[in-house]
Amino acid sequence: MATTTTAGAGPAARPHQAFNPLRRPLAALERQAPLGVVLMVPGLLLLLVFMAYPFFLGIYLSMTDSTIGETGSFVGIRNFAALLSDGIFLQTVRNTFVYAFFTVPFKLGFGLALALVLNNKMPFRNAIRAGVLLPWIVPTALSSLGWFMIFDPVFSPISWLLRQLGLISHNVNFLGDAYLAIASVCLANVWRGIPFFGIAILAGLQAVPQELHEAAAIDGAGAWQRFRAVTLPVIRGVVLIATLYSIIWTFADFQLIYVLTKGGPANQTHVFGTYAYQIGLNATQIGQGAAIALYMFPILALFAIVLLRFVRGQEE
Amino acid sequence: MVGSGTLRHRFLGVYLPLAGFLIFLLFPFYWMVIVSLKPTNDLFNTANNPFWVQHFTLENYAYLFQKTAFLSWLQNTLIVSVAATAISLFCSVLIGYALARLNFPGSNVLALGIFLAYLVPDTLLFLPLAQVIAKLHLYNTYWALILTYPTRLIPFASWLLMGYFKTIPKEIEECAMIDGMSRLGGLTRIILPLALPGVLSAGIFSFTLSWNEFLYALIFMSTGAMKTIPVGTVSDLVKADVLFWGSLMASAVLGSVPVAFIYSFFVENYVQGMTAGAVKG
């Protein structure tokens, strides 16, 4: 850190300054440019060593046949090519798209409804707000254990309820059936995501001008017309940004699926994260695993760019 | 107001949907709590209504404290979360101040880079990062998480703090600087006190994200008693063919309570933070 600021104040410094060696560096810290650079250093150092470097190391690894504990040789794009004829990988791609995109309309729809409901005056408003946020803030690995039991073939309360109602005679094996398993992890994901959309949109709703609402109501506009003409234009930015964040997070999710199914049954719920974990760590093919993870990159980059444009548009 | 009509309107438009949301969003927690308070035999007795506690017991919690490494997990989680939060807050205050107040070459590119770092998911990095951790001989040490968590926290916290710092009028510091205060004095004695809600939000965020983190903890601190609560609960308590559902749920409940507790006090701050950082960028 000091080297960037004491340049010129070393042994060559003029003698009359020697009585206070800190004077020049301290004076430099009063100027914007040196101070700005110095302040960035601690954080950037961590980001460089533990984020930027691993990112490039991952690109390198993905082009080798490395295993855990053994540095492999360079194989070019062979890992990427091999994955394209790997049935489980293609299934993983399909699962990830279903998981990330099929859940979004539900999270958005219910989140918007939740925000509109919470935007009313009600008793215990703060307690209710804190309550509905819980699915999003508690450790996902732990709340997923709750869902793990709710979907259990023996102990599921859903099965119990359906049996009591006479709708089924045997318990449902939620996580053991291919279609039910992906539907179940999607349900748990929607549950976790609704509060994020709800609270984000609720904050956006605070910017909706009430006078406009009242004026529109006096002019005879119905609730739906007022929502479309007054509310929607104001919250559109928040809705778009929350949606993009949610897609990126869900696309790259790991823990919910790891806890509920570990990618099973028969790989029907693997997403990029869990499949990269299985190949890279469990099967120790770390090069191949890195290639699986990197297949996420183009789509993440695409959504990141779109998100960036929206965020910048919001700021202006 | 939207629902300021008749009582009937309020019931159908507000309270009924609200009840639906509360039941759906809170039921898994209710389920976890009641299972943790039941003796194992009651779970297997299908004559019992599973939605209620027939015989209240704390034996699952006793089992958790006496027969599992839960207290070690708790200690590990606390140490890692507090240290990672402190490091992240320190770095983020400096970055947020630099980007909000100082003109220096490359500041725009760095701001963009930090925003993009927020979007880099852990699943993209964990395999190569595992090699980095191994090379640095950090495996199964607290440092493995204390040094890697800030990469998930600093981007968000700096972005959040930058937004807060920008709302503080520059004139206050400029006056103080004319009176002889240094720039860093302006940061510590003027900006930080005024941006305290922002610092608090960033701190809460960092602490809970550290507390909740799973993937890095699963891989980097996975042996013996070095696990965190989420990893210990998922990997040590879920392994037998006959699951100890009661203690499993007890561990999940206890691991969730601290974050739930913090948020119930700071929900306003939290909403502000989310809108300043996650939504408006």
Task: Say whether pLDDT at A4 is over 70.
Answer: no
Q: What is the DSSP string of A244-259?
A: HHHHHHHHT--HHHHH
Q: How confident is the model at residue A222 (pLDDT cuts 50, 70, 90)?
A: confident
Q: What is the largest CA-CA distance in chain A?
A: 95
What token pair was written down for A74? 């360079």
Task: Domain ranges for chain A, please list them.
Answer: 86-315
Task: Domain ranges for chain B, please list them.
Answer: 7-57, 68-279
What is the rounded CA–CA span in Å between residue A40 and residue A30?
Answer: 15
CB contacts < 8 A, A to B, total: 305
Q: Does B276 touch chain A (CB under 8 A)?
A: no
The CATH superfamily assigned to B68-279 is MetI-like (1.10.3720.10)
Interface probe with A: pick from B33, B90, B124, B156, most Cβ of A within 10 Å: B124
Collapsed DSSP state (helix, strand, coil) of residue A64: strand
Output the pLDDT for position B5: 56
Residue A69: Cβ within 10 Å count:
9
Contact call for A40 and B122, based on CB within 8 A: no
Output the pLDDT for position A8: 40
Q: What angle do CA A175, A178, A184 make, to 5 degrees?
A: 45
pTM: 0.89
In this structure, CATH architecture of domain A86-315: Orthogonal Bundle (1.10)
Contact B145, B217 (CB under 8 A): yes
Contacts of A232 in chain B (CB under 8 A): none
Q: What is the DSSP letter of B281?
A: -
Q: How confident is the model at residue A14 (pLDDT cuts 50, 70, 90)?
A: very low
Contact call for A129 and B130, based on CB within 8 A: no
Output the pLDDT for position A315: 60
Task: Say whether pLDDT at A35 is over 50.
Answer: yes
Angle between helix B142-167 and B196-212 (nearest 10): 150
Q: Does B12 touch chain A (CB under 8 A)?
A: no
What token pair was written down for A187? 């349900």
Q: Does B66 touch chain A (CB under 8 A)?
A: no
Q: Tell me which chain A residue has its CA closest to the CA of residue B100.
A: A36
Q: What is the DSSP letter of A50?
A: I
Q: Give the ipTM of the model, two decimals please.
A: 0.91
- Kindly report, residue by residue over B74-112, the tens digit of the pLDDT: 999 999 999 999 999 999 999 999 999 888 888 889 999
| Sequence letter at residue B188 | T
> What's the gap in Å between the CA of B190 and the closest CA on chain A?
16
Output the pLDDT for position A303: 93
